[in-house]
Amino acid sequence: MQSTACRATVAAPASSPWASRRAFAPAAAPSVRSAAPRRQLRCLAVSTEVKADAKFPAWEAIYAQLTGKYGTRTVSPEEAFDMAQLGKAVVIDVRPREDFDKGRPKGAVHVPAFIVIDSPSSPGEFGKWLACKANGVVPTKVNADLPAQIAAAAADGKVAVLACEAGGTLQPTVSFPQGKVSRSLKAAWKVLATGALPAERVLHLDGGVYGWYRAGMPMDGEYDGTGAGRTPNTAETPTGQFFDKQ
């Protein structure tokens, strides 16, 4: 009888209503595990900023983002000068060091968009260095510190007015229906795409250093405008010459 009772005791849980509830409990576990991938996807969606040392995309992509996503504004030399005089902005010259040293907008800060490769630091950089030297071109690479340096130059909430030789343009012209690429516009995109500064604190100088010079704004050094011929920006627009805006 004792052995029969033992068998009855062992067999009872199989028909017990509590057994089915315990069997159902593990089924809830997958819903907990499935939540992790959703949290991971949300984190990935937030991280959209470009790395500072990333290569520049095609100009068409840069142009689309500057004119659309960021709404980058171009300011005249006169407006940029007034803002700088009032302590609201700083003109940042992104040309090579030798060009900056020769002549620049008065009070401008130098932050090169590209730096010269003197000593290649990687096989890829060495290959580029050799190719440039063979073709008589100065080997350069993207200045990975550009966003941070521009943000530092525009401290205390100042606006960064970016300038290169001839400036390029975001305005469609007869010759350049999708604007014209320039170092200052590429630098503006890199600063914005990396999140170094908000869009309202990044401006583009109309006509670049040459436009500043042509407008009669004060200069430091001995600038003569001859470098602008290497990057012409005088394409005709429907309203006249690019620089004829007085």
Tens digits of pLDDT across the chain (246 residues): 444 444 444 344 444 443 344 343 444 444 444 444 443 333 333 335 788 878 899 999 999 999 999 999 999 999 999 999 999 999 999 999 999 999 999 999 999 998 876 666 666 666 665 667 567 766 678 899 999 999 999 999 999 999 999 999 999 988 899 999 999 999 999 999 999 999 999 999 999 999 999 999 999 999 988 877 554 443 333 333 333 332
Q: Is 245 helix (H, G, I), strand (E, B) or coil?
A: coil
Same domain, 159 and 66: yes
Same domain, 211 and 94: yes
Q: And the tokens for 86?
A: 């009032």
* CB-based contacts of 132, cutoff 8 Å, min separation 6: 117, 138, 139, 140
Query: Helices 2-15 and 17-24 sit at what angle, rounded to 10 degrees?
Result: 50
Same domain, 33 and 98: no
Question: What is the predicted pLDDT for the residue at 134?
Answer: 66
Same domain, 177 and 216: yes
Question: What is the predicted pLDDT for the residue at 17?
Answer: 42
Please report, in angstroms and rounded to a whole number, the separation of the first and last CA atoms in the chain: 115
Examine residue 237 and state whether it is found in any structural domain, yes or no: no
Q: Hey, CA dihedral for 163, 168, 172, 178, is it positive or negative?
A: negative
What does the alpha-carbon distance between residue 246 and residue 239 come to, in Å, rounded to a whole number? Answer: 12
Examine residue 52 and state whether it is found in any structural domain, yes or no: no
Examine residue 129 and state whether it is found in any structural domain, yes or no: no
Its pTM stands at: 0.71
Question: What is the predicted pLDDT for the residue at 126?
Answer: 62
What does the alpha-carbon distance between residue 201 and residue 88 come to, in Å, rounded to a whole number? Answer: 10
Domain count within the chain: 2
Examine residue 36 and state whether it is found in any structural domain, yes or no: yes
Question: What is the predicted pLDDT for the residue at 132?
Answer: 73
Kindly state the DSSP code that residue 136 receives in the 8-state scheme: T
Question: What is the predicted pLDDT for the residue at 51?
Answer: 85
Examine residue 128 and state whether it is found in any structural domain, yes or no: no
Question: What is the predicted pLDDT for the residue at 158?
Answer: 98
Same domain, 155 and 186: yes
Same domain, 145 and 34: no
What does the alpha-carbon distance between residue 94 and residue 105 come to, in Å, rounded to a whole number? Answer: 12
Q: And the tokens for 203?
A: 């401006």
- Print the domain residue range for 8: 2-46
Return the CATH number at 181: 3.40.250.10
